[in-house]
Structure 1
Amino acid sequence: MAPNRIIIDTDPGVDDILAMLLAFSAKLEELEVLMLSVTFGNVDVHSCLRNIITLFHFIEREQAWRRENGRPEGFETLKACKPIVAIGAEEPLAEQMMVADFFHGIDGLGGIHHSHPHLTPSETWKSLFRPTPQSTTPEEAAALREVQAQHLLFTPSQKPAHEEMLRILRESPPDTITIVAIGPLTNLAVAAATDPETFLRVKEVVVMGGAVEVPGNMTPGAEFNTYADSVAAARVFALTSPNPHTTMPPTLPGKGQLQAYPEKLSRRLKLKLFPLDITGRHLLPQSLFKSHTSTLSASPLTTWTTAFLTSTYQKVFSIRPEQDPNALGVELHDPLTIWYCLTSNSPSSGSGWRFVEEDIRVESSGQWTRGVCVVDRRGRATKEREGEVGGEVPGDTGNWLDRRCGNRIERCVGSPGVDVFAGLWLDRVFGEV
């Protein structure tokens, strides 16, 4: 079985880190992680980048500890392919920037860079993402190469993330690359606007975002990722429509407008959506995490994950103090998308996933409804219409009932097992399988 080749677009964030740990602990035949595309989101983009570098730092330390203790090193995907790390969007396309540091902490990991400074790697890595000055001496260049050689698990890029994303898609056969988007969709929207036909070479886009039939976690109706850049989400969702112009967001005054898509595109985007409806049901209980790692206290990875998860469990309890402390759990929003990618190529292990196709649109201009996912629940059948595509039909404002219009989103409604995922994550990440 050929591995699923993926690009992870991410804004780490606690659950983003948990997702990447699962991805990097995959078997060689399951996943090949080609790139980490960094965006703003849970915190500012540079804090997100620091969390990614810290992740690699602790994977490297964990591998060394496992070798010393006669354990399998794990993280096979990183041995086979060093992912590119590239910096992307620093702010949303048009709206006011909002971050989720109220939950994830000022640094995205519960503030551990301040509370546990000994767990933060030296900041020499910053030079990896800056162009080498022309005035650099041979000695300075050699020192820079030495710094780069220390980071053996990834390849730093000085190009914008959307350019690297498009390059990988352009150089790969169509339908061989999956983009896993677990943050705001700004990088994807910029890539799609820059070169829509190259972007549409993607096999599918797997998105953690939105809330359809459950409350939001940012506003009563909106999930954070769609709220953080609703214009970007609406633009990416529009590519799933047979006629994208029918669901494109209105032009908003902003920091720079992206160009419209061509009227005719060669294909529709295949997009699988993992909203709060499904992700919020998959938990990593604190009691299970503690019991599983109790014999691994000397493990660097255990030390690091315990530090930021302890802070996260405390935050979860502070938000809902009425809950049973013994049932406390962190919702595995982003890791669920990786579980899908791990299993989607396997007829046996991937058989538990269930999806429904819906016309889901993202509100980008409402006073109270920024980032809300809107679905037509009137129960009226769509029809074949005549005349101009996207022309308003009396009684059908928004063209919800015209088959030529509307988005085609595959929403996840079922996984292989709500109760088994936390154990699977723990076993894989801490080297038990």
Structure 2
Amino acid sequence: MTNKRRIIIDTDPGVDDILAMLLAFSASPEELEVLLISVTYGNVEVKNCLRNVMTLFHIIELEMQWRIRKGLDPGFQTLRRHKPIVAVGASEPLADHQLMADHFHGIDGLGGSHSSHPHLTPKQTWRSLFTSDVSTADPSSNAATQEIETSIPLFVPSKKPAAEEILNILRDNEPDTITIVAIGPLTNLAIAAAQDPETFLRAKEVVVMGGAINKSGNITPVAEFNVFADSVAAARVFALTCPTPTLTMPVLATKSSIGDYPARLSPALKLTLFPLDITEQHNLSRATYTSFIKPLLGKNSPLAEWTDAFLGATFKKLDTLYKQDAPLALHDPLCIWYLLASPAMNLAKEPLDIRIETSGQWTRGMLVTDGRPRAKPVHDDSVTSHGPRDDQNLNFDEVPGDTGHWIYARGNAIWPCVDSPWKADFGSELLKRIFS
């Protein structure tokens, strides 16, 4: 029997998103099968995020060809075995103004590498694969068709919205068999869940990189970027972990135009969270990266040249933002590592009722927990594969002394990762997986 995870990656590449996908595609087919790359805006606008995904596949193809010429194993086994669908999703948040992280990732999302290393960027013919506009490419042109076909051997393009493809995959597979790994703003997931909550809840688990619980944020003093970028979407997805999601969604999230949830969910969503509290403890130092990549650069590895282009720019940016030789936090790759690693990382012993602030002037995107020393009622903790079940009849009116339904109702049930045996070695392990 295999423990292979079949996954959807929802992403806004982004430097660490690219490293996360490289890690996923470097897995063995017995470990992971990537069914879908669901692209969203986030670190940069969505068209640049898509270009970065296309460049990733282009570089992997060049790298495999280079390894074969060198008499090496081409690697990327799971990608060679299973071609993922690539679909384009949201271009803006549900309610907030769009915010990008190009101040860190560069205007193209990859440290300006498309300009500094244009020979590593694929031709733009892939654009016609994701649009129904026939003027973009002439299908009667054999030359154009051949150029497109030879540029996409490693993925299957989709002209459907990413949210629709997420739901299609969940419908077409047995419940509790598909894990969604969300390493960008949660807009695509919120849209899919609103369109068909019952189908969305067929997911085995949603693994989210986002938020900060007991430490400062990275985009505001209290907020992490992915949650801040679409706090309404995050609040809606987190609320799916509550049997009565209306109780834990802020007003702004309940008024979203994408649709309402049912009054009760059965079962609720299992959501595993990788906040900054844990991801910032898993780093890649410039020294570790340089010592590993230098021999490969000398041998003209395309993957080494490409990663050196955007990681070199990223390390320089870190020097200006923090201190000399500051390490790169491996936020997004850690979510993939959670699915691969043995020994495993440690989740909290019990879920936390974490909610998202959506409208605070200073606190938008903040993860809010209740630390008051108040006794809470005992709920039915029988567990389904998706998480706890609560069969009590809940009153939707607030109980005096319990503003916001924090005490007497079952709240959200989020499982944060709290510890890991990989903190000292993750950077090295990541590079070994990707480049071996």
Same fold (TM over 0.5): yes
8 A Cα contact 2:338 2:344, kept in partner: no
- Secondary structure (helix, strand or coil) at the match of 1:295 reads helix
Deviation at 1:264, TM superposition (A): 2.5
Partner of 1:4: 5
1:379 counterpart residue number:
373
Partner of 1:314: 316
Partner residue, 2:386:
none
Is the contact made by 2:236 and 2:253 (CA closer than 8 Å) also made in structure 1? no
Q: Distance in 1 between matches of 2:138 and 2:307?
A: 40
The alignment status of 1:359 with 2:353, answered yes or no, reads yes
Shift in CA distance, 362/163, structure 1 to aligned 2, threshold 3 Å: same
Unaligned runs of 5+ in 2: 380-391
In 2: Cα distance, 1:306 partner to 1:136 partner: 33
Deviations 1:266-308 (A, max 9, x none): 2100000000000001001110011011211110000000010
Number of the residue aligned with 2:332:
334
- 2:317 maps to a residue whose letter is K
Write the distance in 2 (CA, Å) between the matches of 1:38 and 1:177. 18
Tell me which moved more, 245-254 or 48-57.
Answer: 245-254
Residues 389, 405 of structure 1: 8 Å contact kept: no
SS at match of 1:8: strand
Over the aligned positions, Cα root-mean-square deviation in angstroms equals 1.9
Cross-structure match for 2:382:
none
Residues 350, 167 of structure 1: CA spacing in aligned structure 2 closer, same or farther, 3 A cutoff?
farther
- State the alpha-carbon separation in 1 of the partners of residues 254 and 417 from structure 2: 34
- The one-letter amino acid of 1:391's match is D
% identity of equivalent residues: 57
The residue number in structure 2 matching 1:429 is 434
Query: Unmatched 5+ residue regions in structure 1?
Result: 344-348
- The answer to whether the 8 A contact 2:128-2:137 is kept is no
Aligned residue for 2:348, secondary structure, equals strand
TM-score (norm 2): 0.92
* Aligned counterparts, 1:26-425, within 5 A: 26-131=27-132, 133=134, 139-140=140-141, 143-144=144-145, 146-251=147-252, 257-297=257-297, 298-321=300-323, 323=324, 325=325, 328-343=326-341, 349-356=342-349, 357-383=351-377, 388-402=394-408, 404-425=409-430
Offset at residue 263 of structure 1 (A): 1.1
TM-aligned CA distance change 1:400 to 1:415, over 3 Å: same
Note if contact 1:33-1:81 (Cα within 8 Å) is conserved in structure 2: yes
The residue matched to 2:140 in structure 1 has which SS?
helix
Shift, 1:140, TM fit: 2.6
Q: Does the aligned pair in 1 maintain the 2:8–2:38 contact within 8 Å?
A: yes
Q: Which amino acid aligns with 1:360?
A: I
Go from structure 1 to structure 2 and tell me whether the alpha carbon gap of 1:32 and 1:136 turns closer, same or farther (over 3 Å shift). closer
Instruction: Call closer, same or farther: CA 1:319–1:414 in 2, change over 3 Å.
Output: same
For this pair of structures, how many residues does the alignment match? Answer: 420
The normalised TM-score by structure 1 is: 0.93
Q: Kindly state the Cα deviation for residue 190 of structure 1 after the two structures are TM-superposed.
A: 0.1
Cα displacement string for residues 145-172 of structure 1 (whole angstroms, at most 9, x for unaligned residues): 5513431000000000000000000000
Q: Secondary structure at the match of 1:114?
A: helix
SS in 1 for 2:202: coil
Report how far residue 384 of structure 1 moved.
5.3
- SS of aligned partner of 2:10: strand
- Alpha-carbon distance between aligned partners in 2 of 1:9 and 1:306, rounded to the nearest angstrom: 24
Q: Is the 8 A contact 1:36 1:84 kept in 2?
A: yes
- Matched AA of 1:89: A
- The C-alpha deviation readout for 1:317-365, integer Å capped at 9, x for no partner, is 10113x5x3xx3110000000000123xxxxx14442324100000001
1:346 — aligned with what? Answer: none
